[in-house]
A and B are shown apart, each in its own frame.
Chain A
Amino acid sequence: MIVPLPQLLAVSAGLFAIGLFGALTRKNAIGILMSIELILNSANLNLVAFNRIWGEPSGLGQVMALFVIGTAAGGAVVGLALILTIFRHRQTISADEIKLLKG
């Protein structure tokens, strides 16, 4: 079986685009979080694919992917904690009703 690199990368590009769209449009904060996970996965896919094709012996790409997964887990935890707290205070997790950043 041959995994053609361009096609694989195209899948990752699709994942990225979909994730981006979700992050930009979802009203629900948890939805945004999930979209971001998609984006991260698309990046991971690229890392692993390039690692495979150039055969870096120490497995740099895979290591980085592992780190990304780790940080993503952390991010998800903190993000969810934030969302829960905001929800507790405001009874909403709709991103366009949260304007803490408005100057």
Chain B
Amino acid sequence: MFAMSPGNPSIGPLDLAARAAFYGVACATLIGAAITVTARNLFRAALGLALALFGVAVLYLFLEAEFLAVSQLLIYVGAILTLIIFGVMLTAQIASPTQPRFNRQAGISLALALAVGLGLGWIFLTSGWPSPSPKEPPPAPVPLSALGRSLISIYLLPFELLSILLLGTLVGAIVIARKEKDPE
């Protein structure tokens, strides 16, 4: 369905629609991200983040990584974002108009971020990425079953380590956030 060949000259109408969709999603993602970092209202920032994460999930779909896309939706949008919104609500400082959004280093940070972004973009765009020859079919996407198998065979150790890390995180979070007993 998707053929990833940047230099492919034959662009069909379907391709064109897909390309338009891609650009649209990409723009939506970046806009969501921009909202996330700029919104004065923290709740709105969280919604922007949701948009950005959703966009990324769609981008995963474009890359034929369906499982990852689903995971992205489930974990980020479903779990982390919910958590963040809870946090925002608990801290009860959703928006304070008197407070500036940014700290004092905003200007230099902007310059830095622009430099990084432009630099990276420049590198990405100008690097001569290896392009498979038109005659060769592009490599097949990784099937879900292979992913699952490799997760519990080759990458079993990191997988298990990750689970232990998560367990630790769970315990740690509970310990940290627990309400300390009053000494009295």
Contact = CB atoms under 8 A, between A and B. Distances in A.
A72 B30 contact: no
A102 to B, nearest CB: 15
Nearest to A29: B91
B56 A74 contact: no
Contacts of A24: 105, 109, 112-113
A2 B19 contact: yes
Contact of B170 (A15, A31, A77, A92): A77
Interface string A16-54: 111111101111101101110110010011001101111
Contacts, number: 273
A53 B129 CA distance: 10
Nearest to B163: A70
Contact of B68 (A18, A48, A76): A48
Contacts of B169: 74-75, 77-78
Contacts of B142: 51, 55-59, 62
Given A10-B125, A77-B169, A80-B84, A59 B147 contact: yes
Nearest to A8: B59
Given A28-B93, A63-B150, A1 B80 contact: no
A76 B174 CA distance: 13
B80 A18 contact: no
Interface string B21-50: 111001001100110110000100110010
A16 B33 CA distance: 9
Given A25-B109, A30-B91, A38-B33, 16 more contacts: A2-B15, A3-B2, A5-B4, A7-B22, A9-B125, A13-B116, A13-B121, A14-B117, A17-B117, A27-B101, A30-B88, A34-B37, A69-B72, A87-B91, A93-B93, A95-B103
